[in-house]
Structure formats: C-alpha cells, structure tokens
Structure 1
Amino acid sequence: MHKPRDKAKVEVAVQVVERWILARLAIRQLLTALNQRPFKKLPGSRRSQFEALDQPALRPLPDPAYEYAEWRKARVSLDYHVEVEKHYYSVPHSLLRKQLDVRLTEKTIELFHRGQRVALHVRSRRQGSHSTNAEHMPRAHRAHLEWTPGRLLNWAVEVGPHTRDLVKHLLWNRPHPEMGSSARITCRSNIRSPFKYTPFVD
C-alpha cells in the first residue's frame, strides 16, 4: 500500500505555525520574523519563496466587485411580465408562457431564456406594481403609449361628464395602471363611439 509522502512535511509545517504564531498571536511581529527566518535545509525563507513563486501569480480582484445573487424560476404571463417577490417585470412579448431563469441582486433583476439575457430591470420593492420596458411590448400596445392618462382624460372631458367618469374608472381601476395598454384601447374605443351616433334625445 502506498503511503503519503508529504504527510510528514505537512505536519512539520503545522507544528511550525502553531509554535511561532498561534501560541503568541498577540505579538504580530512574530509573523514577520517567521516568514523571514531562513530555512535550515533549503535556500531562502518563506517570504522569499512567496515573492518568487506566489506573488507573480497573483491578479487584481475583479472589477466590479463580487455581487451576491439569487437564482429562481419564473413563467411569463399573458401580459409579458414575470412576478418576482410580488413585483412584475416585463420581458419581450415573444416569450409568453416561457419559463425563465431570474437572477436577483440587491439592485437589479436579470431574466434569462436558454442562457441568454432577455431583460434587465432595476429591482423594485413596490409590491403589486409593474416595471415595463416599452421595447418589450407588442407593436399595437406601443402605439397606445402616446395616449397618456392625462390626454385621454382631457379628451373625455370634452365629450361629456359620463365619458369622463368612464375613462377615470377604466384607467384607475386596473391592477397596474402604469401599463394600462388594454385600458387605453378600451378608452379610445369608448371615446370615439359618441362621434358615430347622434345625441340621445328623451
């Protein structure tokens, strides 16, 4: 049976550290003295060996610094968002129903599909809210972005008080008004309708 050849050397090294450092840890200067003490059977010292062998191989720490991250799974819903800790982040609408890998850091949310990053968002702690990138939206939804809630409401006021109340209801009774694409579509349809018909007469 083979016996480990380096075991004795390791044990001797441990004994040296215990005798010269651990026993008198309060005296930090002993560490410097130990590293500079010449070997008995080899040339140089621990310090010189470090400078000759280890130090040239050292590299700077990576930039940026390491950032702790958690990984999770999430499935894309029909509104092209995924839920992460009760906040909703958009991804390209072509990924509906796909399962994604989610990387959570202190400041960001990254979403990956088959190893490729498909979305990056600033992490939000607002539960029930949405973070939506317009580039992730279908073309039809992007077309409605110019119809801001303020513009829709001003137009509704010109039509009449009932239309104004309807638009308010459609815009502000949605689970995520900052998306509001379907609400804007509905509002525009209802706003255009009065111009197609004659006024109601009692």
Structure 2
Amino acid sequence: SVPAERRMPDMEYLYRELKRKSVTMQLLWYEYKQANPDGYQYSQLCNLYRQWVKKLDLTLRQEHRAGEKLFIDYAGQTVSIVDPKTGEITEAQIFLAALGASNYTFVEASLSQDLPSWIKSHVHAFEFFGGVAEILVPDNLKTGVTNPCRYEPDINPTYQDLAEHYGTTVIPARSRKPKDKAKVESAVFVAERWILAALRNHTFFSLTELNQAIAEKLHDLNNRKFQKLNTTRRQLFETIDRPALKSLPSRPYEYAEWKKARV
C-alpha cells in the first residue's frame, strides 16, 4: 500500500535542475529519497516525471543543457519603416536569438539580412545575454552558412571569425531534423505573436524608434509566465543559463569581410 504521507516530488524543480550541467535524474532521486525515505522508487519517479513533461509544449520538452545552445534565425514577417521626408517604405528584418535551456529571447530589427547586419545582431545579442553559449545554432541561412551540405556545412569565414572571437562554435540546424528547428521556430512564432502583432497599428519612422518599441515588448515577453510552468523566461535565464554562459571578451567583434585572394 502507498503511504498516505508519500510526498510528490516537485516536478518544476526537477525540470530546472536537469538543465544544470552534470545533474542527472539518479542524483535528484537520491536527494529526494534522503529527504523522503518513504518516497517513490527511482523507476516510479522517472515515470511520474515523463508523464508531467508530456503535458508541456514541445519546445519546453526538449532537453537543452544550461548555456549550451543559442538558436538563431530571422522572422518571416517584416516591419515597415517610413522615411519621414520621402514617404519611402523600407521593410525591416527581424533577427531572433533564443537560449535553449531557458527560452530567454533577444529580438532586434535591422535594415537587411546581409552579412554586416547578421554579424552586428549577434554582437548585440551576446551583449543582451551578458555572455555567450557554447554552440550557435543558426537556421540554415545563406548569410551565415555558405553551403548547407548535409554533413559538413561551410560556415561563412566572417561568421567563423566571429565565433572564434567569442570562443563559441557554429553548428547549423539540420534541415531534415525537425527537432533542430523546433526551438527557433517556436521563438519566431512567439515573437511574431507577442511583439510584431502587438506593434501592428504603429507607424515607425526610424530603425531606432522600431527597436525601442521591440525592446519594450521583448521585456514583457521575457517576464511573462509560461502557460504550463509557474516561471518566466527571465527567471529560468537568471537561474539556469546566465551562470553557465561564457564571459564576453574585453572587446566586441568588429565586422571584417573575408575575400578569397586571386592567385
């Protein structure tokens, strides 16, 4: 018979702790049993946890370790910027970067998806996070990945140079692996819903003005509780990802375009 006082483990605590480096379910069960000698056996705890995780959104179910991966892409939507003098309209591109473990997200607008903009947005993202993840996972975007071959994608030399400057590694999302793409596609969906849709009735006259508005909505997004977790992206970031990120170098990366020398 099950003891009436058998204590249910705190699933959110297990979820957070499992994202920390080297923490295993075995260790967490051992700690739980020390505090609750009549508690669940290891296999029972694993089953209970699996059932709990199944109820979470797909991207929250994925197991990403603290400080391990930063997922990067551009949103499909753009935002119009009107030149106040000429009335000419430019479509601003929306860059996104989301940390794997906490889902903590950075969003900014740029005038293009060209290489200088791509690099500059990375520098801004690293400054926003106050550190760098071990691995950058860009969606297979031609700006950062010159040849998205199935096994060995060629990383743009400037992008590779940026990665080396920050002591990180570029491993592009694999086009045939939906799990690789799920995290960043979820971040894009959330940003389009909570940031871009929320700005739909605004008219912007400069990139600076647009980015100020995005920053306000981004703050709200990162501090909003998840639907099925009693915590926020910001809280998960502060407790899980931030302590595990690599420190920023003393100077930010400066853009330099690599050209193949003709012999």
- Give the TM-score taking structure 2 as reference length: 0.21
User: Which structure has the bigger radius of gyration?
Assistant: 1
- Give the TM-score taking structure 1 as reference length: 0.27
Specify which structure has the bigger relative contact order, considering alpha-carbon pairs within 8 angstroms and separated by 6 or more residues: 2
